[in-house]
A and B are shown apart, each in its own frame.
Chain A
């Protein structure tokens, strides 16, 4: 089954075995339990649950806002990574150290703080109110919350790769007369793309499932600002475990396929 890159490095059986056993115990068997539970449904029942209008609306909302947040992060995350790697400036170390904080902040706290900030009477929200639009309790608020919780992903995946690209490559391109945008397009982008895709995919996948930080700011209006994880909670509160696991299975399958596609794409880019 295995083809070693190098014939002399030991430990394949041990590490693969351990990895598989650990993953199975912690992740796969528990997730399998969810599939087993959902398997009590017939296909028709399963389909009826996941094609209900509210589920579809939530599906669109969850995936849409997560996608927007991932795109925003793809842009500002790359920018932050660029600034952190390429320039020395006052406060660089502070930013560098604090980028990861959204991981550490309990998501509920993030939700409460963001709502306080973006609610119509809040610090930032009041400016939006003056301009005639709302941030909290709209999909925009959800997107902002997701952008906050997933910010570290893109920065942290792009940063090391960017640091490894020899500056001479860009300099050579610049000396040969390439404009900055051309340098970015033809030199940096191809090198960054795999890492960027990983960060993007992780941010996206995490955003789809995020619960704690979103429920405070979402408004939770059926058909409008109701996210998928909330629907799972709603089903659970009706003691409808099977319905909840059906939505769980749906989310899991979609996430898995997305991540798999991106991992495959990335390998194709890496091994031309």
Chain B
């Protein structure tokens, strides 16, 4: 390598790193913001949960009502996340691969549940399926219960998490364009083959990330579920509702213990996602080097 190219590389490197002071300032600022806005509240939650030691912590988590709340939360997540996953892929597909009139409105409608107050999200299902609601009398005649039972909790959870997967995929798929899919089609792949072998591998990470967020949010949803749950102990209480109940029972330590459990679950999912992402990146790198 000649001296001149070395010099050019060095100056490019310097430009890349920026001046090291500004770099340091930015990183410290980033840490400060992170610590102040995010870490501190989370530390409060965990430290309150552990205040009386690990014994009480686990006692609160393995108590019968907490376990039944955990079970209900996991059931609600297991139903709502796959449904929203399929929806997200389908919505991202039609939005990113085609132009049509009203696309902006469709995209806005997909975003809408983000902006609907959780209070309203719960209320609309009560207005539909509650005893005084549109379908109330019919449901009562047929002895079907939707609100204040599992279906209502699942519906409210789906509602608040509808946009997550679609939101992750739309920009990604828009950016990737359609050339690879077109090539696959020209080479004779049918629609499903093209989807499985071309599209899916390309959007895999966005998809996983969307699912992770969707899962985390579904586990933690409070407001909407609170409206449709009925708060029957051991039956229709999800984990977040159980936290509120414990807190209202002056059982702060247990409340924060269960909240920590939620946090740990979420953190576990997030770390799992990051770990697999890193692994794939490394594989890709080593493949590129060979």
Contact = CB atoms under 8 A, between A and B. Distances in A.
Interface stretch (B29-37, B57-65, B229-237): B29-37
A95 B30 contact: yes
A106 B270 CA distance: 16
A39 interface: no
Interface stretch (A24-32, A42-50, A51-59): A24-32
A95 B226 CA distance: 31
B90 A109 contact: no
A210 B221 CA distance: 12
A58 B271 CA distance: 39
Contact of A104 (B29, B195, B220): B220
A28 B107 CA distance: 13
B277 to A, nearest CB: 10
A15 B94 CA distance: 6
Contacts of A3: 98-100
A112 interface: yes
Given A103-B217, A208-B117, A12 B97 contact: yes
Q: Interface majority SS on B: helix, strand, loop or mixed?
A: helix
B54 interface: no
A30 B124 contact: yes
A241 B119 CA distance: 13
Contact of A123 (B40, B118, B194, B247): B40
A209 B15 contact: no
B101 A1 contact: yes
Given A36-B134, A147-B37, A18 B270 contact: no
Interface residues of A, number: 106
A108 B240 contact: yes
A258 B221 CA distance: 24
Interface of A is mostly: helix
Interface size class of B (residues with CB under 8 A): 35 or more
B203 interface: no
A138 interface: no
Interface in A78-98: 79-80, 82-84, 87, 89, 91, 93, 95-98
A40 B203 CA distance: 46
Given A6-B181, A34-B127, A26 B155 contact: yes
Given A6-B178, A26-B159, A206-B115, A251 B33 contact: no
A160 B37 contact: no
B140 interface: no
Nearest to A267: B104
A272 interface: no
A244 interface: yes
Contacts of B48: 113, 116
Contacts of B158: 26
Interface string B77-96: 00000010011001101100
Interface of A: 1-6, 8-12, 14-16, 18-20, 22-23, 26-31, 33-34, 36-37, 76, 79-80, 82-84, 87, 89, 91, 93, 95-110, 112-114, 116-117, 123-124, 147-148, 151-152, 157, 160-161, 164, 167, 170-171, 174-175, 180, 195, 198, 201-202, 205-206, 208-212, 228-229, 232-233, 236, 241, 244-245, 248, 251-252, 255-256, 258-260, 263-264, 267
Of all A-B residue pairs in the complex, the 10 with the closest CB atoms, nearest first, are A205-B115, A209-B117, A104-B266, A106-B240, A83-B30, A104-B216, A30-B124, A255-B115, A15-B94, A10-B191
7 contacts: A23-B91, A27-B109, A109-B256, A148-B38, A209-B120, A232-B119, A259-B115
Interface of B: 11-12, 15-16, 18, 22-23, 26-27, 29-31, 33-34, 37-42, 44-45, 48, 83, 86-87, 90-91, 93-94, 97-101, 104-120, 123-125, 127-128, 133-134, 155, 158-159, 162, 167, 171-172, 175, 178, 181-182, 185-186, 191, 194-195, 212-213, 216-217, 219-223, 226, 239-240, 243-244, 247, 255-256, 259, 262-263, 265-267, 270-271, 274
